[in-house]
Amino acid sequence: MGSAQPESGRKQPVTVSESSIQRLSRYYRTLESAAEIGIKHISSSELASSNKVTSAQVRKDLSTFGTFGRRGLGYSVEELKMGIADILGLNRRYNVVLVGIGNIGRALLDFGEFRRRGFDIVAGFDIDPKKVGSKRKGVDIYHEDDFQEIVKKLDVDIGIIAVPAANAQDVCDAIIKSGIRAILTFAPIRLHVPENVAVRYEDMTIELESLSFALANG
Amino acid sequence: MGSAQPESGRKQPVTVSESSIQRLSRYYRTLESAAEIGIKHISSSELASSNKVTSAQVRKDLSTFGTFGRRGLGYSVEELKMGIADILGLNRRYNVVLVGIGNIGRALLDFGEFRRRGFDIVAGFDIDPKKVGSKRKGVDIYHEDDFQEIVKKLDVDIGIIAVPAANAQDVCDAIIKSGIRAILTFAPIRLHVPENVAVRYEDMTIELESLSFALANG
């Protein structure tokens, strides 16, 4: 994982660290911005400096997935962008269901970036009778009791958990029962899931701790 | 950065990747959970498996900051926990101001984890007259026009930006003008800040892309 490999064409990713995937997402954003302003080539040091990593790290991250760029010429912005999109599975759209229409749930529904990046929230769920039956940003809010039935009708790829910690595992179990194999959770507890289910934790304190590190070491 | 260094006591961190800092935060959470259930020692492979990285990565991350653990014995949970808290600057509390009391702002105010982890939101700001003058979770909401004046009275370490993208740079400039040197932003735009200001981007699509990677490569 993450160890430099000889550059020899696109390889099957075997074990890749989450950090490395997150960096690819960040490189992808830099490439998008570069493409928008008409830049055609970008060097590993340019990609590095706008993402606060070393050029060696950039080259290592990219070489894990195959050959990109040519020595001295840097990377073709368009090619690398497509390459990373391919790696990250961004060349298609994903259907997402959201459980919990509190502050975070509402923020997610209102957040245009998800749709722009290919993630469509296709249904919301809550237990509050005031929310059930309503619509937000065109998305229907259903009762959590109807979760299995609704999910069966939609072709859902990802479930988002935005309920209080005390209910998160129950919601997680319901999501897994429905056959969904990818979960993003905002609840600050560790979830128990089978091996074949991918879970990501959106932990907003992690970035704050990165700032406290910067303050402590600045 | 991130390259394995000889283990020779606590070193001054020079350049450390954000990924490495984020992993330290995650190890810290594992250590907290371990301490809670009374576990005294933990191996790099245990720390690795609960954080989905390799043991080599764990050892590398920790060796960057000095000597932890003894060959064969693993790490002392208590010692490593204190060591990481020291590195991350978690042995003190931080005063945080929050600009933008929309869905995300409200979620942050309601989110007990921040306080539990040493980050106290001491003031909120908005321009909506319905919000200005109110309190949420004991936090006063002021008008953004009074930002400089209020911040001067509080000893503020970190500013959080939770306003729409179109206003984010203006809010960022105001935060910097007030003397705050650490910023967490939820707005999906790149901010222009001087070298001596640390910025972290809370980008909720990054974790979704990590899931699309898992689905594309699962």
In which band, very low, low, confident or very high, does the pLDDT at B9 lie, cut at 50, 70 and 90?
Answer: very low
Pick the range with the lowest mean pLDDT from B62-71, B89-98, B200-209.
B62-71
For residues B58 and B74, what is the distance between their CA atoms, to the nearest angstrom? 12
pLDDT of residue B8: 40
Q: Which residues contact B50 (CB under 8 A, 6 or more apart)?
A: B30
Nearest CB to A57; choose among B2, B119, B157: B2
**Per-residue model confidence as pLDDT tens digits over A43-55:** 888 898 878 788 8
Contact (CB<8Å) A209/B17 = no
Distance of CA B129 to CAs B101, B126, B145, B183, Å? Answer: 12, 8, 12, 25
Is residue B103 within 8 angstroms of chain A, CB to CB?
A: yes
Quote the pLDDT of residue B71: 65
Q: What residues of chain A, 33 to 62, have a C-beta less than 8 Å from chain B?
A: 33, 52-54, 57
pLDDT band at residue A171 using 50, 70 and 90 as cut-offs: very high
Which pLDDT score, from 0 to 100, does residue A71 have? 65
Smallest Cα distance from A214 to chain B, Å: 7
**Residues in CB range of B55: below 8 A, 6 or more apart:** B43, B44, B45, B47, B48
Q: Which residue has the higher pLDDT, B18 or B143?
A: B143
Q: In angstroms, what separates the C-alpha of B126 from chain A's closest C-alpha?
A: 16
Q: Are A192 and A176 in contact (CB under 8 A)?
A: no
**Chain A: closest CA distance from residue B104 (Å):** 6
Q: A5 touching B, CB under 8 A?
A: no
* Helical spans, DSSP H, in B37-146: 44-49, 55-63, 77-88, 103-110, 112-116
B2 pLDDT band (50/70/90 cuts)? very low
A32 near B CB under 8 A = no
Residue B15 confidence (pLDDT): 62
Angle at A160 between CA A180 and CA A204, to 5 degrees: 140
Q: Identity (one letter) of the amino acid at A145?
A: D
Nearest CA in chain B to A107: B103
Q: Is the CB of B210 less than 8 angstroms away from the CB of A18?
A: yes
What distance in Å separates residue A149's CA from the closest CA in chain B?
23
What pLDDT, on the 0 to 100 scale, is given for residue B36?
85
Which of A23-32, A140-149, B13-22, B150-159 is least confident?
Answer: B13-22
* A1 → closest Cβ in B57, B106, B110: B57
What band does A129 get if pLDDT is binned at 50, 70 and 90?
very high
Q: Answer yes or no: do A1 and B183 touch at CB < 8 A.
A: no
Radius of gyration over every alpha carbon of chain A, rounded to an integer in angstroms: 20
Distance from CA of B111 to the nearest CA of A (A): 10
pLDDT digits (tens, 9 = 90+) for B10-50: 444 446 778 888 899 999 999 988 888 888 889 888 898 87
SS3 B171: helix
ipTM value for the complex: 0.81
Residue type, A115: R
Name the pLDDT band for A1 (thresholds 50, 70, 90): very low
The DSSP code for B69 is S
Find all residues with CB under 8 Å of A116, minimum gap 6, and list them. Answer: none
Q: Establish if B32 touches chain A: CB-CB under 8 angstroms.
A: no
B201: nearest CA partner in chain A: A207
Burial of B8 (C-beta count, 10 Å sphere; 0-12/13-18/19+): exposed
Q: What is the pTM of this model?
A: 0.81
